[in-house]
Protein backbone atom coordinates (compact mmCIF):
# COMPACT_ATOMS: atom_id res chain seq x y z
CA UNK A 1 0.00 0.00 0.00
CA UNK A 2 1.40 3.26 -1.04
CA UNK A 3 1.97 5.99 1.63
CA UNK A 4 -0.01 9.22 1.35
CA UNK A 5 1.91 12.19 0.04
CA UNK A 6 2.79 14.59 2.90
CA UNK A 7 2.40 18.36 2.58
CA UNK A 8 5.67 20.15 2.86
CA UNK A 9 5.95 22.44 6.00
CA UNK A 10 8.60 25.14 6.35
CA UNK A 11 11.09 24.16 8.98
CA UNK A 12 10.81 25.91 12.39
CA UNK A 13 13.75 27.72 13.84
CA UNK A 14 14.09 25.01 16.47
CA UNK A 15 14.31 22.32 13.89
CA UNK A 16 16.96 24.04 11.87
CA UNK A 17 19.96 22.02 11.30
CA UNK A 18 23.44 23.17 12.16
CA UNK A 19 24.00 23.73 8.56
CA UNK A 20 21.12 26.24 8.52
CA UNK A 21 22.57 28.05 11.55
CA UNK A 22 25.89 28.20 9.94
CA UNK A 23 24.16 29.62 6.91
CA UNK A 24 22.53 32.39 9.00
CA UNK A 25 25.75 33.10 10.82
CA UNK A 26 27.56 33.19 7.60
CA UNK A 27 24.87 35.45 6.24
CA UNK A 28 25.22 37.86 9.27
CA UNK A 29 28.90 37.40 9.08
CA UNK A 30 28.79 38.86 5.65
CA UNK A 31 27.77 42.14 7.25
CA UNK A 32 30.10 42.22 10.29
CA UNK A 33 32.91 40.06 11.62
CA UNK A 34 32.05 37.48 14.30
CA UNK A 35 33.91 39.37 17.00
CA UNK A 36 31.85 42.51 16.42
CA UNK A 37 28.62 40.52 16.33
CA UNK A 38 29.43 39.08 19.74
CA UNK A 39 29.78 42.59 21.11
CA UNK A 40 26.35 43.70 19.89
CA UNK A 41 23.31 43.59 22.16
CA UNK A 42 20.14 41.69 21.28
CA UNK A 43 18.37 44.81 20.15
CA UNK A 44 21.26 45.73 17.91
CA UNK A 45 21.21 42.26 16.33
CA UNK A 46 17.47 42.58 15.61
CA UNK A 47 18.07 45.96 14.04
CA UNK A 48 20.79 44.39 11.92
CA UNK A 49 18.51 41.57 10.79
CA UNK A 50 15.66 43.98 9.96
CA UNK A 51 18.03 46.07 7.93
CA UNK A 52 18.86 42.95 5.83
CA UNK A 53 15.19 42.16 5.06
CA UNK A 54 13.68 43.59 1.91
CA UNK A 55 11.15 46.38 2.24
CA UNK A 56 7.55 45.42 3.04
CA UNK A 57 8.67 42.00 4.17
CA UNK A 58 5.97 40.36 6.37
CA UNK A 59 8.56 39.47 9.04
CA UNK A 60 9.39 43.09 9.71
CA UNK A 61 6.28 43.60 11.88
CA UNK A 62 7.11 40.48 13.86
CA UNK A 63 10.64 41.76 14.37
CA UNK A 64 9.34 45.10 15.58
CA UNK A 65 7.09 43.39 18.14
CA UNK A 66 9.98 41.16 19.24
CA UNK A 67 12.22 44.17 19.60
CA UNK A 68 9.75 45.97 21.88
CA UNK A 69 9.44 42.92 24.13
CA UNK A 70 13.20 42.50 24.37
CA UNK A 71 13.63 46.26 25.12
CA UNK A 72 11.18 46.07 28.03
CA UNK A 73 12.90 43.01 29.44
CA UNK A 74 16.32 44.62 29.21
CA UNK A 75 15.05 47.79 30.89
CA UNK A 76 13.66 45.69 33.73
CA UNK A 77 16.98 43.87 34.01
CA UNK A 78 18.87 47.16 34.15
CA UNK A 79 16.69 48.46 36.99
CA UNK A 80 17.08 45.21 38.91
CA UNK A 81 20.83 45.30 38.38
CA UNK A 82 21.08 48.87 39.70
CA UNK A 83 18.98 48.01 42.77
CA UNK A 84 21.18 45.01 43.51
CA UNK A 85 24.33 47.11 43.15
CA UNK A 86 22.99 49.73 45.56
CA UNK A 87 21.99 47.09 48.04
CA UNK A 88 25.41 45.47 47.79
CA UNK A 89 27.05 48.84 48.45
CA UNK A 90 24.85 49.43 51.50
CA UNK A 91 25.53 45.98 52.87
CA UNK A 92 29.24 46.47 52.29
CA UNK A 93 29.16 49.75 54.24
CA UNK A 94 27.21 48.23 57.11
CA UNK A 95 29.57 45.28 57.32
CA UNK A 96 32.75 47.38 57.15
CA UNK A 97 34.49 48.30 60.48
CA UNK A 98 33.94 51.77 61.97
CA UNK A 99 36.37 54.60 61.32
CA UNK A 100 38.05 56.27 64.29
CA UNK A 101 38.47 59.97 65.01
CA UNK A 102 41.66 61.10 66.71
CA UNK A 103 43.57 64.28 67.58
CA UNK A 104 46.74 65.02 65.67
CA UNK A 105 49.50 65.77 68.16
CA UNK A 106 52.45 66.14 65.80
CA UNK A 107 53.81 64.87 62.46
CA UNK A 108 56.75 62.50 62.83
CA UNK A 109 57.75 61.81 59.23
CA UNK A 110 56.28 62.79 55.89
CA UNK A 111 54.14 59.66 55.98
CA UNK A 112 53.67 59.22 59.76
CA UNK A 113 51.91 61.20 62.49
CA UNK A 114 51.43 61.04 66.27
CA UNK A 115 47.69 60.70 66.90
CA UNK A 116 45.72 60.33 70.16
CA UNK A 117 42.56 58.24 69.96
CA UNK A 118 40.45 57.75 73.08
CA UNK A 119 43.35 58.63 75.38
CA UNK A 120 45.76 56.20 73.67
CA UNK A 121 48.64 57.37 71.52
CA UNK A 122 49.34 55.85 68.08
CA UNK A 123 51.90 56.40 65.35
CA UNK A 124 49.74 56.25 62.22
CA UNK A 125 50.47 56.15 58.52
CA UNK A 126 49.23 59.05 56.41
CA UNK A 127 47.43 58.49 53.14
CA UNK A 128 49.80 59.63 50.37
CA UNK A 129 46.94 61.55 48.76
CA UNK A 130 46.73 63.85 51.84
CA UNK A 131 49.36 66.63 51.82
CA UNK A 132 51.14 66.84 55.16
CA UNK A 133 50.89 70.65 55.15
CA UNK A 134 47.10 70.41 55.30
CA UNK A 135 47.23 68.71 58.73
CA UNK A 136 47.60 71.03 61.76
CA UNK A 137 48.42 70.32 65.39
CA UNK A 138 45.24 69.75 67.38
CA UNK A 139 43.15 68.98 64.32
CA UNK A 140 40.79 66.00 64.18
CA UNK A 141 41.76 63.27 61.74
CA UNK A 142 39.86 60.25 60.42
CA UNK A 143 41.51 56.83 60.80
CA UNK A 144 40.48 53.70 58.92
CA UNK A 145 40.48 50.14 60.26
CA UNK A 146 44.23 49.99 59.72
CA UNK A 147 44.70 53.17 61.80
CA UNK A 148 45.86 55.10 58.77
CA UNK A 149 45.03 58.80 58.45
CA UNK A 150 42.72 59.05 55.48
CA UNK A 151 41.11 62.48 55.98
CA UNK A 152 41.41 65.72 57.97
CA UNK A 153 38.23 66.79 59.79
CA UNK A 154 39.20 70.26 60.98
CA UNK A 155 39.17 71.46 64.59
CA UNK A 156 36.64 70.22 67.10
CA UNK A 157 34.04 72.73 68.30
CA UNK A 158 33.32 70.95 71.58
CA UNK A 159 35.36 70.00 74.61
CA UNK A 160 35.91 70.65 78.32
CA UNK A 161 36.73 74.16 79.58
CA UNK A 162 39.59 74.61 82.04
CA UNK A 163 41.48 77.55 83.53
CA UNK A 164 45.15 78.25 82.93
CA UNK A 165 47.15 78.00 86.12
CA UNK A 166 50.62 78.74 84.81
CA UNK A 167 52.45 79.45 81.56
CA UNK A 168 55.55 77.30 81.14
CA UNK A 169 58.69 78.61 79.51
CA UNK A 170 58.30 76.53 76.34
CA UNK A 171 54.75 77.74 75.72
CA UNK A 172 52.93 74.81 77.26
CA UNK A 173 50.08 75.38 79.68
CA UNK A 174 49.55 74.04 83.17
CA UNK A 175 46.02 73.69 84.46
CA UNK A 176 44.96 73.00 88.04
CA UNK A 177 42.17 71.09 89.71
CA UNK A 178 39.52 73.83 89.68
CA UNK A 179 37.63 72.20 86.81
CA UNK A 180 37.46 68.79 88.46
CA UNK A 181 40.38 67.46 86.40
CA UNK A 182 43.72 66.30 87.68
CA UNK A 183 46.59 68.75 87.08
CA UNK A 184 47.68 68.57 83.45
CA UNK A 185 50.29 70.07 81.17
CA UNK A 186 48.91 70.82 77.71
CA UNK A 187 50.35 71.94 74.42
CA UNK A 188 48.87 74.63 72.26
CA UNK A 189 47.08 73.90 69.02
CA UNK A 190 47.98 75.62 65.78
CA UNK A 191 45.16 78.09 66.48
CA UNK A 192 46.81 79.28 69.72
CA UNK A 193 50.45 79.08 68.69
CA UNK A 194 50.77 82.88 68.50
CA UNK A 195 48.02 83.78 70.98
CA UNK A 196 48.99 85.80 74.06
CA UNK A 197 47.68 83.78 77.00
CA UNK A 198 47.59 84.70 80.69
CA UNK A 199 47.02 82.76 83.89
CA UNK A 200 43.35 82.79 84.82
CA UNK A 201 42.08 82.54 81.27
CA UNK A 202 39.52 79.90 80.39
CA UNK A 203 40.46 77.68 77.44
CA UNK A 204 38.71 74.84 75.64
CA UNK A 205 40.43 71.49 75.19
CA UNK A 206 39.95 68.72 72.67
CA UNK A 207 37.93 65.68 73.72
CA UNK A 208 41.15 63.81 74.51
CA UNK A 209 42.27 66.66 76.81
CA UNK A 210 45.70 66.88 75.24
CA UNK A 211 45.61 70.16 73.29
CA UNK A 212 44.28 73.67 74.00
CA UNK A 213 42.07 74.73 71.11
CA UNK A 214 40.34 78.00 71.92
CA UNK A 215 40.38 80.90 74.38
CA UNK A 216 36.98 81.28 76.01
CA UNK A 217 37.74 84.32 78.18
CA UNK A 218 38.45 85.08 81.82
CA UNK A 219 35.79 82.74 83.18
CA UNK A 220 33.84 84.07 86.12
CA UNK A 221 36.05 87.08 86.57
CA UNK A 222 33.82 89.93 87.72
CA UNK A 223 34.79 93.26 86.24
CA UNK A 224 35.07 95.54 89.27
CA UNK A 225 37.47 98.09 87.88
CA UNK A 226 36.37 101.67 87.39
CA UNK A 227 36.53 102.73 83.75
CA UNK A 228 37.77 106.20 84.68
CA UNK A 229 38.86 107.45 88.06
CA UNK A 230 37.04 110.62 89.06
CA UNK A 231 39.15 113.75 89.07
CA UNK A 232 39.69 114.30 92.78
CA UNK A 233 42.59 116.61 93.57
CA UNK A 234 43.64 116.73 97.19
CA UNK A 235 42.11 120.20 97.44
CA UNK A 236 38.64 118.69 96.92
CA UNK A 237 38.90 116.75 100.19
CA UNK A 238 38.31 118.89 103.26
CA UNK A 239 38.89 118.26 106.92
CA UNK A 240 41.38 115.40 106.41
CA UNK A 241 44.72 117.17 106.13
CA UNK A 242 46.52 114.70 108.38
CA UNK A 243 45.17 111.66 106.53
CA UNK A 244 45.98 113.20 103.14
CA UNK A 245 49.55 113.95 104.19
CA UNK A 246 49.98 110.42 105.57
CA UNK A 247 48.74 108.92 102.30
CA UNK A 248 51.02 111.11 100.22
CA UNK A 249 54.02 110.13 102.34
CA UNK A 250 53.08 106.46 102.08
CA UNK A 251 52.13 106.22 98.40
CA UNK A 252 53.48 109.13 96.39
CA UNK A 253 57.00 109.36 97.79
CA UNK A 254 58.03 105.75 96.93
CA UNK A 255 56.82 106.26 93.34
CA UNK A 256 58.32 109.71 92.86
CA UNK A 257 61.65 109.16 94.63
CA UNK A 258 62.57 105.57 93.97
CA UNK A 259 66.28 106.28 93.87
CA UNK A 260 66.26 107.65 97.39
CA UNK A 261 64.29 104.70 98.68
CA UNK A 262 66.72 102.37 96.98
CA UNK A 263 69.70 104.25 98.38
CA UNK A 264 68.43 104.00 101.94
CA UNK A 265 67.22 100.43 101.32
CA UNK A 266 63.84 101.48 102.56
CA UNK A 267 61.10 98.90 102.05
CA UNK A 268 58.18 100.28 100.14
CA UNK A 269 54.85 99.71 101.94
CA UNK A 270 52.65 97.13 100.28
CA UNK A 271 49.39 98.57 101.52
CA UNK A 272 47.68 100.74 104.05
CA UNK A 273 44.50 100.78 106.10
CA UNK A 274 42.03 103.65 106.23
CA UNK A 275 39.91 103.31 109.34
CA UNK A 276 37.52 105.57 111.13
CA UNK A 277 33.82 106.34 111.56
CA UNK A 278 31.48 106.02 108.59
CA UNK A 279 30.92 108.90 106.20
CA UNK A 280 34.27 110.60 106.77
CA UNK A 281 35.80 110.05 103.33
CA UNK A 282 37.70 106.75 103.38
CA UNK A 283 36.48 105.72 99.94
CA UNK A 284 36.99 109.25 98.65
CA UNK A 285 40.58 109.20 99.87
CA UNK A 286 41.20 105.92 98.04
CA UNK A 287 39.95 107.30 94.72
CA UNK A 288 41.86 110.54 95.19
CA UNK A 289 45.04 108.54 95.77
CA UNK A 290 44.79 106.92 92.34
CA UNK A 291 44.08 110.19 90.53
CA UNK A 292 46.76 112.29 92.26
CA UNK A 293 49.46 109.64 91.98
CA UNK A 294 48.94 109.45 88.21
CA UNK A 295 49.11 113.24 87.96
CA UNK A 296 52.28 113.44 90.07
CA UNK A 297 54.03 110.72 88.05
CA UNK A 298 53.10 112.46 84.79
CA UNK A 299 54.34 115.82 86.07
CA UNK A 300 57.69 114.38 87.14
CA UNK A 301 58.47 111.85 84.40
CA UNK A 302 56.34 113.17 81.55
CA UNK A 303 54.84 109.69 81.07
CA UNK A 304 51.09 109.36 81.44
CA UNK A 305 50.58 105.99 83.09
CA UNK A 306 46.88 105.08 83.29
CA UNK A 307 45.50 104.08 86.64
CA UNK A 308 43.71 100.79 87.28
CA UNK A 309 41.40 101.24 90.26
CA UNK A 310 39.86 97.95 91.35
CA UNK A 311 37.05 98.82 93.75
CA UNK A 312 35.84 95.82 95.74
CA UNK A 313 33.01 95.85 98.25
CA UNK A 314 33.88 93.24 100.83
CA UNK A 315 30.57 91.35 101.07
CA UNK A 316 30.28 90.86 97.29
CA UNK A 317 33.22 88.44 97.39
CA UNK A 318 31.43 86.05 99.73
CA UNK A 319 29.99 83.02 97.95
CA UNK A 320 28.14 79.95 99.15
CA UNK A 321 30.26 77.57 97.06
CA UNK A 322 33.37 76.18 98.69
CA UNK A 323 36.51 77.71 97.25
CA UNK A 324 34.74 80.34 95.13
CA UNK A 325 35.45 83.23 97.53
CA UNK A 326 39.12 82.24 97.70
CA UNK A 327 39.25 82.12 93.90
CA UNK A 328 37.88 85.64 93.66
CA UNK A 329 40.45 86.95 96.13
CA UNK A 330 43.22 85.32 94.11
CA UNK A 331 41.76 86.72 90.90
CA UNK A 332 41.80 90.26 92.32
CA UNK A 333 45.54 90.12 92.82
CA UNK A 334 46.03 88.48 89.42
CA UNK A 335 44.22 91.37 87.72
CA UNK A 336 46.34 93.92 89.55
CA UNK A 337 49.58 92.14 88.67
CA UNK A 338 48.55 91.91 85.01
CA UNK A 339 47.75 95.61 84.75
CA UNK A 340 50.89 96.54 86.67
CA UNK A 341 52.98 94.50 84.23
CA UNK A 342 51.29 96.39 81.40
CA UNK A 343 52.56 99.66 82.88
CA UNK A 344 49.44 100.85 84.71
CA UNK A 345 49.25 102.11 88.29
CA UNK A 346 47.18 99.36 89.92
CA UNK A 347 45.11 100.04 93.03
CA UNK A 348 43.21 97.35 94.91
CA UNK A 349 40.68 99.08 97.16
CA UNK A 350 38.68 96.79 99.46
CA UNK A 351 35.83 98.55 101.22
CA UNK A 352 34.25 97.09 104.36
CA UNK A 353 37.33 94.91 104.77
CA UNK A 354 36.20 93.53 108.12
CA UNK A 355 33.39 91.62 106.38
CA UNK A 356 35.83 89.28 104.60
CA UNK A 357 39.02 89.63 106.65
CA UNK A 358 37.55 89.25 110.12
CA UNK A 359 39.38 87.72 113.04
CA UNK A 360 39.60 83.93 112.90
CA UNK A 361 38.30 81.90 115.82
CA UNK A 362 39.11 78.37 116.86
CA UNK A 363 36.44 75.70 116.63
CA UNK A 364 35.35 72.58 114.88
CA UNK A 365 33.23 74.38 112.35
CA UNK A 366 34.45 75.88 109.12
CA UNK A 367 34.02 79.62 108.65
CA UNK A 368 34.65 81.83 105.67
CA UNK A 369 37.35 83.78 107.50
CA UNK A 370 39.35 80.63 108.16
CA UNK A 371 40.15 80.36 104.44
CA UNK A 372 39.84 83.91 103.13
CA UNK A 373 42.33 85.39 105.58
CA UNK A 374 45.09 82.83 104.75
CA UNK A 375 44.46 83.35 101.04
CA UNK A 376 44.76 87.13 101.40
CA UNK A 377 47.91 86.77 103.49
CA UNK A 378 49.45 84.48 100.88
CA UNK A 379 48.70 86.90 98.06
CA UNK A 380 50.11 89.82 100.03
CA UNK A 381 53.33 87.93 100.75
CA UNK A 382 53.58 87.02 97.08
CA UNK A 383 53.48 90.65 95.98
CA UNK A 384 56.86 92.26 95.45
CA UNK A 385 57.37 95.95 96.22
CA UNK A 386 57.95 98.56 93.51
CA UNK A 387 55.62 96.76 91.15
CA UNK A 388 53.05 99.56 90.85
CA UNK A 389 50.46 97.77 93.00
CA UNK A 390 48.87 99.50 95.99
CA UNK A 391 46.52 97.67 98.36
CA UNK A 392 44.09 99.88 100.28
CA UNK A 393 41.76 98.57 102.98
CA UNK A 394 38.91 100.66 104.36
CA UNK A 395 36.95 99.74 107.46
CA UNK A 396 34.71 101.25 110.10
CA UNK A 397 35.81 98.57 112.55
CA UNK A 398 39.53 97.96 112.24
CA UNK A 399 39.44 96.06 115.54
CA UNK A 400 37.49 93.26 113.81
CA UNK A 401 40.15 92.65 111.13
CA UNK A 402 42.44 89.68 111.72
CA UNK A 403 45.82 90.75 113.18
CA UNK A 404 47.63 88.65 110.59
CA UNK A 405 46.35 91.04 107.92
CA UNK A 406 47.38 94.19 109.74
CA UNK A 407 50.86 93.12 110.75
CA UNK A 408 53.83 95.04 109.31
CA UNK A 409 54.94 93.55 106.02
CA UNK A 410 51.39 93.27 104.74
CA UNK A 411 49.45 96.38 105.73
CA UNK A 412 52.33 98.61 106.72
CA UNK A 413 50.48 101.86 107.41
CA UNK A 414 47.34 102.46 109.45
CA UNK A 415 45.85 105.87 108.74
CA UNK A 416 43.13 107.24 110.99
CA UNK A 417 40.35 109.11 109.19
CA UNK A 418 38.90 111.32 111.91
CA UNK A 419 35.71 113.25 112.13
CA UNK A 420 36.13 116.84 110.93
CA UNK A 421 36.57 119.59 113.49
CA UNK A 422 35.10 123.07 113.16
CA UNK A 423 37.70 124.25 110.62
CA UNK A 424 37.49 120.99 108.68
CA UNK A 425 33.68 121.11 108.58
CA UNK A 426 33.80 124.67 107.27
CA UNK A 427 36.14 123.64 104.43
CA UNK A 428 33.80 120.75 103.57
CA UNK A 429 30.81 123.08 103.50
CA UNK A 430 32.69 125.41 101.16
CA UNK A 431 33.50 122.49 98.85
CA UNK A 432 29.84 121.51 98.52
CA UNK A 433 28.60 125.13 98.30
CA UNK A 434 30.10 125.66 94.88
CA UNK A 435 30.28 129.05 93.20
CA UNK A 436 28.12 127.73 90.36
CA UNK A 437 25.13 127.42 92.72
CA UNK A 438 22.66 130.31 93.16
CA UNK A 439 23.80 131.30 96.65
CA UNK A 440 22.16 134.04 98.66
CA UNK A 441 25.49 134.93 100.30
CA UNK A 442 29.16 134.22 99.60
CA UNK A 443 29.91 130.58 100.27
CA UNK A 444 32.44 131.43 102.97
CA UNK A 445 29.81 133.40 104.91
CA UNK A 446 27.25 130.62 104.53
CA UNK A 447 29.80 128.02 105.64
CA UNK A 448 30.77 130.04 108.72
CA UNK A 449 27.14 130.55 109.68
CA UNK A 450 26.11 126.90 109.36
CA UNK A 451 29.27 125.62 111.07
CA UNK A 452 28.75 128.00 113.98
CA UNK A 453 25.29 126.53 114.55
CA UNK A 454 26.40 122.96 113.78
CA UNK A 455 29.17 122.97 116.41
CA UNK A 456 27.48 125.18 119.00
CA UNK A 457 27.50 123.75 122.54
CA UNK A 458 23.85 124.59 123.14
CA UNK A 459 21.08 122.63 124.72
CA UNK A 460 19.37 122.21 121.37
CA UNK A 461 22.50 120.58 119.92
CA UNK A 462 22.81 118.02 122.70
CA UNK A 463 22.74 114.62 121.06
CA UNK A 464 23.85 111.97 123.55
CA UNK A 465 24.82 111.70 127.21
CA UNK A 466 27.48 109.15 128.13
CA UNK A 467 27.78 107.85 131.69
CA UNK A 468 31.17 106.27 132.39
CA UNK A 469 31.73 103.47 134.85
CA UNK A 470 33.67 105.87 137.02
CA UNK A 471 30.53 107.99 137.31
CA UNK A 472 31.72 110.72 135.01
CA UNK A 473 29.18 112.09 132.57
CA UNK A 474 29.84 113.55 129.16
CA UNK A 475 27.46 115.08 126.66
CA UNK A 476 27.97 114.67 122.93
CA UNK A 477 26.75 117.42 120.64
CA UNK A 478 25.85 117.40 116.99
CA UNK A 479 29.27 118.71 116.09
CA UNK A 480 30.90 115.75 117.82
CA UNK A 481 29.17 113.42 115.35
CA UNK A 482 29.73 115.50 112.23
CA UNK A 483 30.99 113.80 109.08
CA UNK A 484 31.47 114.57 105.43
CA UNK A 485 28.43 112.49 104.57
CA UNK A 486 26.20 114.44 106.96
CA UNK A 487 27.48 117.76 105.64
CA UNK A 488 26.83 116.66 102.06
CA UNK A 489 23.32 115.53 103.05
CA UNK A 490 22.62 118.89 104.76
CA UNK A 491 23.61 120.81 101.62
CA UNK A 492 21.53 118.53 99.37
CA UNK A 493 18.52 118.89 101.66
CA UNK A 494 18.94 122.66 101.62
CA UNK A 495 18.95 122.57 97.82
CA UNK A 496 15.68 120.62 97.83
CA UNK A 497 14.12 123.23 100.16
CA UNK A 498 15.19 126.04 97.85
CA UNK A 499 13.85 124.19 94.81
CA UNK A 500 10.52 123.53 96.52
CA UNK A 501 10.22 127.19 97.50
CA UNK A 502 10.92 128.23 93.91
CA UNK A 503 8.18 125.88 92.67
CA UNK A 504 5.66 127.19 95.16
CA UNK A 505 6.40 130.88 94.58
CA UNK A 506 7.06 130.46 90.84
CA UNK A 507 10.04 132.76 91.23
CA UNK A 508 13.76 132.27 91.02
CA UNK A 509 15.12 131.69 94.49
CA UNK A 510 18.55 131.30 96.01
CA UNK A 511 20.10 128.97 98.54
CA UNK A 512 19.93 130.90 101.80
CA UNK A 513 21.22 130.55 105.32
CA UNK A 514 17.75 129.63 106.54
CA UNK A 515 17.65 126.68 104.11
CA UNK A 516 20.90 125.33 105.53
CA UNK A 517 19.77 125.71 109.14
CA UNK A 518 16.43 124.01 108.47
CA UNK A 519 18.19 121.21 106.60
CA UNK A 520 20.62 120.72 109.49
CA UNK A 521 17.77 120.40 111.99
CA UNK A 522 15.83 117.89 109.87
CA UNK A 523 18.90 115.85 109.04
CA UNK A 524 19.77 115.18 112.67
CA UNK A 525 16.18 114.50 113.67
CA UNK A 526 15.88 111.87 110.92
CA UNK A 527 19.20 110.32 111.90
CA UNK A 528 18.25 109.87 115.55
CA UNK A 529 18.97 106.13 115.39
CA UNK A 530 20.90 104.36 118.11
CA UNK A 531 21.74 100.75 118.82
CA UNK A 532 20.33 99.04 121.86
CA UNK A 533 22.17 99.33 125.18
CA UNK A 534 23.83 95.90 124.90
CA UNK A 535 25.92 97.05 121.93
CA UNK A 536 26.67 100.56 123.19
CA UNK A 537 30.40 100.05 122.95
CA UNK A 538 30.16 98.96 119.32
CA UNK A 539 28.12 102.04 118.49
CA UNK A 540 30.57 104.36 120.20
CA UNK A 541 33.40 102.84 118.22
CA UNK A 542 31.56 103.91 115.11
CA UNK A 543 31.21 107.44 116.52
CA UNK A 544 34.99 107.61 117.03
CA UNK A 545 34.86 107.72 120.83
CA UNK A 546 36.71 105.49 123.24
CA UNK A 547 34.13 103.15 124.82
CA UNK A 548 36.35 101.67 127.54
CA UNK A 549 34.84 103.72 130.37
CA UNK A 550 31.32 103.85 128.98
CA UNK A 551 28.52 102.57 131.14
CA UNK A 552 25.21 103.97 129.86
CA UNK A 553 23.77 106.67 127.66
CA UNK A 554 20.68 108.86 127.36
CA UNK A 555 19.00 110.16 124.23
CA UNK A 556 19.14 113.89 124.88
CA UNK A 557 17.95 114.82 121.43
CA UNK A 558 14.61 113.16 122.09
CA UNK A 559 14.21 114.78 125.49
CA UNK A 560 15.20 118.19 124.14
CA UNK A 561 12.67 117.88 121.35
CA UNK A 562 10.00 117.00 123.91
CA UNK A 563 10.86 120.00 126.08
CA UNK A 564 10.60 122.27 123.05
CA UNK A 565 7.17 120.86 122.26
CA UNK A 566 8.20 119.34 118.95
CA UNK A 567 6.26 116.15 119.63
CA UNK A 568 4.30 114.51 122.41
CA UNK A 569 6.41 113.34 125.36
CA UNK A 570 4.20 110.28 125.98
CA UNK A 571 4.71 109.17 122.38
CA UNK A 572 8.46 109.65 122.78
CA UNK A 573 8.47 107.62 126.01
CA UNK A 574 6.57 104.79 124.34
CA UNK A 575 8.96 104.78 121.37
CA UNK A 576 11.97 104.87 123.67
CA UNK A 577 10.68 101.89 125.63
CA UNK A 578 10.08 100.05 122.40
CA UNK A 579 13.45 100.83 120.82
CA UNK A 580 15.33 101.04 124.17
CA UNK A 581 17.28 104.22 123.41
CA UNK A 582 16.60 105.34 119.88
CA UNK A 583 13.82 106.11 117.45
CA UNK A 584 13.23 108.19 114.40
CA UNK A 585 11.15 111.24 115.26
CA UNK A 586 9.60 113.49 112.66
CA UNK A 587 8.96 116.95 114.07
Are 175 and 164 in contact, with CB atoms under 8 Å apart? yes
What local confidence, expressed as pLDDT, does residue 543 receive? 58
Q: CA–CA distance from 539 to each of 204, 248, 401, 464, 542 (Å)?
A: 52, 31, 17, 12, 5
187, 217, 247: which is the final residue of a domain?
217
- Other CB atoms within a 10 A radius of the CB of residue 111 amount to 15
pTM above 0.75, yes or no: no
> Do both 323 and 201 map to the same domain?
no
Percent of the chain with pLDDT over 70: 79
Are 206 and 165 in contact, with CB atoms under 8 Å apart? no
Quote the crossing angle between the two packed helices 443-454 and 422-432, to the nearest 10°. Answer: 140
Cα(150)–Cα(128) distance, rounded to whole angstroms?
9
> Do both 206 and 270 map to the same domain?
no
What local confidence, expressed as pLDDT, does residue 123 receive? 92
Q: Please give the tally of structural domains in the chain.
A: 5
Cα(25)–Cα(218) distance, rounded to whole angstroms?
89
Q: Is residue 341 part of a domain?
A: yes
Q: Is 211 helix (H, G, I), strand (E, B) or coil?
A: strand
DSSP annotation of 249: I
pLDDT > 80? residue 108:
yes
Mean pLDDT for the stretch of residues 254-259: 81
Q: Is residue 20 part of a domain?
A: no
Q: Is residue 187 part of a domain?
A: yes
134, 154, 174: which is the final residue of a domain?
154
Each residue's pLDDT tens digit, 131-144: 888 888 999 999 98
Mean pLDDT for the stretch of residues 152-167: 86
> Do both 319 and 448 map to the same domain?
no
Q: Residue 182 maps to which CATH number?
A: 2.40.50.140
> Do both 461 and 398 map to the same domain?
no
> Do both 357 and 259 map to the same domain?
yes
Cα(283)–Cα(285) distance, rounded to whole angstroms?
5
What local confidence, expressed as pLDDT, does residue 257 receive? 83
Q: Phi-psi region for residue 200, left (φ > 0), alpha (ψ -120 to 50) or beta?
A: left
Each residue's pLDDT tens digit, 415-436: 888 888 888 889 999 989 988 8
Q: What is the DSSP string of 37-61?
A: HHHS-HHHHHHHHHHHSPTT-THHH
Which residue range forms the structural domain that includes residue 300? Answer: 234-416
Amino acid sequence: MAEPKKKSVPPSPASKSPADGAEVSSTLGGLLPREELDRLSTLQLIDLIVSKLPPRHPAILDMVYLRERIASVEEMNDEARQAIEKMDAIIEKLRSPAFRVGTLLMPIQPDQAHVCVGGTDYVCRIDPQIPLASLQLGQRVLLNEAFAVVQGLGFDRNGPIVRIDELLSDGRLRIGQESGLMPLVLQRSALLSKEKLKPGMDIRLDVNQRVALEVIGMGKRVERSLETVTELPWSSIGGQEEAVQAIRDTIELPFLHRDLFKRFEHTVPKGFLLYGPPGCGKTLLGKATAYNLRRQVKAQSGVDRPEFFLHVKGPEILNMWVGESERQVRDLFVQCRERANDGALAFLFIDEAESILGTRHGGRYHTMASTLVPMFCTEMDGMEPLQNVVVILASNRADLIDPAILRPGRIDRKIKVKRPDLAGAQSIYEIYLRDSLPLGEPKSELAKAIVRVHFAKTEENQFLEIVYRSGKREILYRGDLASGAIIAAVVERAKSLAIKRSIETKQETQLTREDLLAALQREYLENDLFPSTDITEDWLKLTDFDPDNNGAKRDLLTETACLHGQFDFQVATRLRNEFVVGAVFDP
